[in-house]
Amino acid sequence: MHITILGGGGFLGRKLAQRLVADGALGGRAISGMTLFDLAAPAPLDAPFPVRTQAGDLGDAVALAIAIPEDTGVIFHLAAVVSAAAEADYDLGVRVNLLGTLAVVNRCRALPAAPRAVFPSSVASFGGGQDARVADDARQVPTNSYGAQKAMAELLLADASRRGFLDAACIRLPTVVVRPGRPNKAASSFASAILREPLLGLATNSPVFPDFRLWICSPRSATGWFLHAATMDTAPLGLERGVNPPGMTASVAEMLDALERVAGIEARRLVQIVPDTVVQDIVRGWPSGFVPDRALALGFAPHESLDEVVRAFVAEDLEATRAERAPV
Amino acid sequence: MHITILGGGGFLGRKLAQRLVADGALGGRAISGMTLFDLAAPAPLDAPFPVRTQAGDLGDAVALAIAIPEDTGVIFHLAAVVSAAAEADYDLGVRVNLLGTLAVVNRCRALPAAPRAVFPSSVASFGGGQDARVADDARQVPTNSYGAQKAMAELLLADASRRGFLDAACIRLPTVVVRPGRPNKAASSFASAILREPLLGLATNSPVFPDFRLWICSPRSATGWFLHAATMDTAPLGLERGVNPPGMTASVAEMLDALERVAGIEARRLVQIVPDTVVQDIVRGWPSGFVPDRALALGFAPHESLDEVVRAFVAEDLEATRAERAPV
Ligand SMILES: NC(=O)c1ccc[n+]([C@@H]2O[C@H](COP(=O)([O-])OP(=O)(O)OC[C@H]3O[C@@H](n4cnc5c(N)ncnc54)[C@H](O)[C@@H]3O)[C@@H](O)[C@H]2O)c1
Ligand SMILES: NC(=O)c1ccc[n+]([C@@H]2O[C@H](COP(=O)([O-])OP(=O)(O)OC[C@H]3O[C@@H](n4cnc5c(N)ncnc54)[C@H](O)[C@@H]3O)[C@@H](O)[C@H]2O)c1
């Protein structure tokens, strides 16, 4: 079975590829090959099976046909223009997040058998705010273009599944913490920065107060859910192909407590609360809690503790982040 | 103010145009001109203001720019590939119902002021079945491609409204009864046929049992809601631009009772119950009831009685339907 990761050069695409290489198989089936597809060719990976890295654009049907060969069993469709960029450039967001997903559907129609398609949708497709406890059947009323495009892509993939073009499972990911690399312009950047920067020995600010709550998950949980979505029986999903996975609600204070437990009070002291009403106005619309009963019943693993999230970042990503950010 | 009706040659587009011509104004504002746009040029209309009829395809940006001139205050975007056709031809449905709506959004971005955009979404964007009492905040889990495309178009229009490209109100229409003309291949064709055919003196079959319930509205109510959607204050809609209007639940038996009251027992005797499991399997997924509290609070008019629906068809459409269907 061939596996294709669209957006395979991104943060989660890379994590997922590494996990598949380590496992060597998926749901008991041997992996015959893997394609990592992204705008720029992803870095090569040592693996017990052939790994192709391909540069291309989702919107290029020829490139997509190469990226998704006829024996593809599973597509992880992670290629996306993320929230701040989709808000800044409407056309780009529509082109990649909506029309790019349509291009994936159309490629799948040409395959001899409908592949499993795993798609990360987002908490950003919901509103609700700090007091939300989002139920499994809640309406998606997005507060930004990225969330709207994710919700549309879910509808497209559900309908394509009903028609037998592909077999989709959409995981509405929480904000993934800890993201390695540098702070970025995303309104959620602080959620990772308040853990990552102190662990690098750097000072950083929290634009929100300590009692501000976020719905988060770790890259490890996200990757685990992707693998479950790739191998689970999709029949119980019925027409509703979207799942709210069992992330966790964490306040800024709880995250800093975990930081302190893992890295000491000096690390925590590197974080200052510096209120920023622009960031607050955006992030206070995001739901801070879900009731993920359906996902748990479908076998999606519950989330690990905050301490484990911090420790996993230290073990797996801290060195690479330090190296990436070292002055040359 | 200029008004454009996309799909202006269709059933509801034509009804709406006639109503606007009769009113001569919209929400107290004078109409300076109207464009009726459809695949084939709509028939001309006598009006107290200039009416342009234009043949073109939604997907043709140049045609759309002509159809929606700079002084357009209201767009009624009624052009669509309806349910049976969108199910039979996936690409056509996507191209018109989804990408066509994107083309409308893009045209509006080039206008000097954001126009009001009135869009009929559909009961077909919900599941639920005979026992459903769909609440205002219910998720749309479509059972067909048409419904999925309508739900995606709603998301696109809500996001475009948030961004200020246009100012949308989406009315999730029930099955419109009585549709003039001929029986067609739509699974819902019987809903109009059991009234229309007997009124023409023709025999017809009901593929469902007398206790089968449908969520319906008249062309008169649909047109009235379009006008309200064109003139209402949209601020109370917030991010949720879709409204479930106050249609009515009617069983086949109740519709036949109304037929009998208006046209006599002979008319009713022309309808035979001939169960058709193919039709039943499709239509039993449609929700038969809604709780349209929000629409009523927003000023959408409650529905008239079934007797009035039948009488209005007799008064307004029976002659034209008879003429259209006479052998030449
Ligand atoms: N990280 C999060 O917090 C989070 C939360 C919810 C959902 N998600 C979703 O998970 C997925 C992966 O997220 P991530 O954090 O790894 O993002 P990322 O930005 O690191 O990776 C996305 C990748 O997609 C690629 N891409 C963009 N446009 C493309 C195009 N036209 N053709 C081909 N490739 C293209 C980018 O180059 C990038 O490498 C995305 O779909 C994202 O929307 C992420
Ligand atoms: N009639 C109903 O029961 C009902 C119920 C729910 C929603 N709606 C919606 O109301 C609207 C009007 O419905 P109707 O019953 O008048 O349908 P209709 O089929 O009579 O009218 C739709 C019109 O759109 C035109 N059209 C199709 N593709 C086009 C394209 N590419 N470019 C330009 N024009 C195009 C068609 O030629 C047609 O005249 C549609 O959007 C429909 O989905 C109708």
DSSP state string for A256-290: HHHHHHHH-HHHHHTEEE---HHHHHHHTTS---B
Give the separation between CA B98 and CA A156, rounded to whole angstroms. 10
- Counted residue by residue, chain B has a size of 328
d(CA B75, CA B156): 15
In this prediction, what percent of chain A has a pLDDT beyond 70? 100
Q: What residues contact residue A39 under an 8 Å CB cut-off, 6+ apart?
A: A9, A55, A56, A57
DSSP SS3 for B116? strand
Closest CA to A147 of A129, A127, A124: A124
Q: Which of B146, B165, B226, B286 is catalytic?
A: B146
Structure tokens at B278: 């193919």
CA-based end-to-end distance of chain B = 41
Asked if the model's pLDDT at residue A179 lies above 90, the reply is yes
Tokens 């159309």, residue? A106
CA atoms in the 13 A half-sphere facing the CB of B129: 4
Amino acid at B41: A
Phi/psi of residue B95, nearest 5 degrees:
-65, -45
Q: What percent of chain B is predicted at pLDDT more than 70?
A: 100
Pair B36, B52: CB distance under 8 Å:
yes
**The complex's ipTM?**
0.97
Position B328 pLDDT exceeds 80:
no
Asked whether the predicted pLDDT for residue B228 surpasses 80, the reply is yes
Whether the ω angle into residue B178 lies within 30 degrees of 0, i.e. cis, is yes
Q: Are strands B72-77 and B2-6 parallel, antiparallel or unpaired?
A: parallel
> Which pLDDT value is given to residue B184?
85
Tell me, in angstroms, the distance from the centre of ligand 2 to residue B3's CA. Answer: 17
- At residue B75, φ and ψ (nearest 5 deg) are -115, 125
Q: B232 — phi, psi (to 5°)?
A: -70, 160
Average pLDDT over residues A180-186: 88
Q: What is the mean pLDDT of residues A217-227?
A: 98
From residue B282, give the alpha-carbon distance in Å to each of B132, B207, B212, B279: 15, 11, 13, 5
Q: For residue B251, is pLDDT > 90?
A: yes
CB of A49 closer than 8 Å to CB of A26: no
Least confident residue range of A152-161, A179-188, B123-132: A179-188
Q: Provide, as residue numbers in chain B, all residues whose Cβ is less than 8 Å from the Cβ of A94.
A: 102
The whole-number average pLDDT for the span B102-130 is 96
A280, two tokens: 């607050």
Q: Closest approach of chain B CAs to the CA of A285, in angstroms? A: 12
Q: What is the rounded CA–CA span in Å between residue A132 and residue A141? A: 13
How far apart are alpha carbons A326 and A315 in whole angstroms?
18
What phi and psi, each to the nearest 5 degrees, are found at residue B61? -60, -35
What backbone torsions phi and psi does residue A318 show, to the nearest 5 degrees? Answer: -65, -45
B187 pLDDT tier (thresholds 50, 70, 90): confident
Q: Is A109 exposed, middle or buried (0-12, 13-18, 19+ CB in 10 A)?
A: middle
Q: Which residue has the higher pLDDT, A202 or A185?
A: A202
Per residue in A289-309, pLDDT (tens digit) is 999 999 999 999 999 999 999
Interchain pair B155, A152: CB under 8 A = yes
Ligand nearest to the CA of A85: 1
Q: pLDDT value at position B281? A: 85
CA distance A305 to B114: 48
- Is residue B114 within 8 A of residue B154, CB to CB? The reply is no
Beta bridge partners of A76: A5, A118
Write out pLDDT tens, residues A19-74.
Answer: 999 999 999 999 999 999 999 999 999 999 999 999 999 999 999 999 999 999 99
pLDDT band at B310 (very low <50, low <70, confident <90, very high): very high
Cα A285 to Cα A1, A132, A276, B29, B322: the distances in Å are: 42, 9, 15, 37, 56
Instruction: Out of B12, B145, B149, give the residue to mutate to test ligand 2, the one with the largest number of ligand atoms within 8 Å of its CB.
Output: B12
Q: What is the mean pLDDT of chain A?
A: 96
Torsion, Cα A161 A167 A173 A178, to 10 degrees, reads -150
pLDDT for residue A220 = 98
| Pick from B9, B5, B1: nearest CA to B25 | B1
Residue A142's pLDDT band, with cuts at 50, 70 and 90, is: very high
Compute the distance between CA of residue A210 and CA of residue A207 in angstroms, rounded to an integer: 10
pLDDT at A185 over 90: no
pLDDT at residue number A202? 97
Pocket of ligand 2 (CB under 6 A): B 7, 9-13, 38-39, 57-58, 78-82, 96, 100, 120, 122, 173, 175-176
Give how far Cα A17 sits from Cα of A7, A324, B216, B245, Å: 11, 20, 51, 48
8 Å CB contact between B117 and B108? yes
* Cα radius of gyration (chain B): 19
What are A77's strand-pairing partners? Answer: A6
Q: What is the rounded distance in angstroms from the CA atom of residue A152 to the CA atom of residue A169?
A: 14
Question: Of the listed A37, A119, A126, A146, which one is catalytic?
Answer: A146
Ligand nearest to the CA of A67: 1
Domain ranges (residues) in chain A = 2-174+218-243, 189-214+248-290+304-323
Give me chain B's average pLDDT, please.
96
SS3 at position B175:
strand
Q: Which CATH architecture best describes the domain B2-174+218-243?
A: 3-Layer(aba) Sandwich (3.40)
Q: What is the dihedral of CA A243, A246, A252, A254, to 10 degrees?
A: 180
What is the rounded distance in angstroms from the CA atom of residue A39 to the CA atom of residue A22? 25
The strand pairing partners of B242, in sequence order, are: B170
Which of B139, B148, B158 has its CB closest to that of A148?
Answer: B158
Residues on chain A touching B127 (C-beta within 8 angstroms): 239
Residue B278's pLDDT is 87
- Mutation test of the interface with chain A: which of B159, B165, B166, choosing the one with the most A Cβ atoms within 10 A? B159
* d(C-alpha A17, C-alpha A8), whole Å: 7
Report the pLDDT averaged over residues B86-98: 97
- Over residues B288-292, mean pLDDT: 97
Beta-ladder partners of B210: none
Domain covering A189-214+248-290+304-323 in this structure, CATH number = 3.90.25.10
pLDDT for B282 equals: 83
Q: Facing residues of A38 across strands?
A: A55
Q: What is the pLDDT of residues B158-183, one digit of tens each?
A: 999 999 999 999 999 999 999 999 99
Classify residue A34 as exposed, middle or buried by CB count within 10 Å of its CB (0-12, 13-18, 19+).
Answer: buried
Q: Nearest CA to CA, how far is B101 from chain A (Å)?
A: 13
In angstroms, the CA B187 to CA A28 distance is 43
> What pLDDT was estimated at residue A281?
85
* Of residues B73, B240, B220, B249, the one with CA closest to residue B159: B240
Asked if A90 lies within 8 A of B163 by C-beta distance, the reply is yes
Question: What is the distance in angstroms between the CA of the first residue and the CA of the last residue of chain A?
Answer: 42
Q: Is A148 helix (H, G, I), strand (E, B) or coil?
A: helix
Q: B239 contacts in A (CB within 8 Å)?
A: 127, 141-143
Beta-bridge partners for A122: A173
Residue A94: pLDDT above 80? yes
Distance (Å, whole) CA A271 – CA A200: 12
